[in-house]
Amino acid sequence: MGEKRTVSLALGSGGARGLAHIGVIQVLKEEGFEIGNIAGTSMGACVGGIYCANKLETFTDWVVKLNKRETLRLMDFTMSTQGVLKGQKVLDHLKGLLGEIRIEDFDIPYTAVATDVKTKQEVWMRTGDLYTVIRASSSIPTLMMPSRLGDRILIDGGVLNPLPIEPLVPKTTDLLVAVNINANAHDRARSAVRC
Q: How confident is the model at residue 189 (pLDDT cuts 50, 70, 90)?
A: very low
Catalytic residues, by residue number, are 42, 156
Which has more pLDDT, 120 or 90? Answer: 120
Q: pLDDT digit string (tens) for 72-86? A: 887 867 777 676 677
From first CA to last CA, the distance across the chain in angstroms is 44
> Average pLDDT for residues 130-135, to the nearest whole number?
94
**What is the predicted pLDDT for the residue at 185?**
55
Cβ-contact 5, 34 below 8 angstroms = yes
Q: How confident is the model at residue 33 (pLDDT cuts 50, 70, 90)?
A: very high
CA distances (Å), origin 157, targets 16, 23, 125 = 15, 22, 11
Strand partners for 102: 129
Tell me how far apart the alpha carbons of residues 126 and 14 are, in angstroms, rounded to a whole number.
21
What is the model's pTM? Answer: 0.87
Tell me how far apart the alpha carbons of residues 113 and 104 are, in angstroms, rounded to a whole number.
16
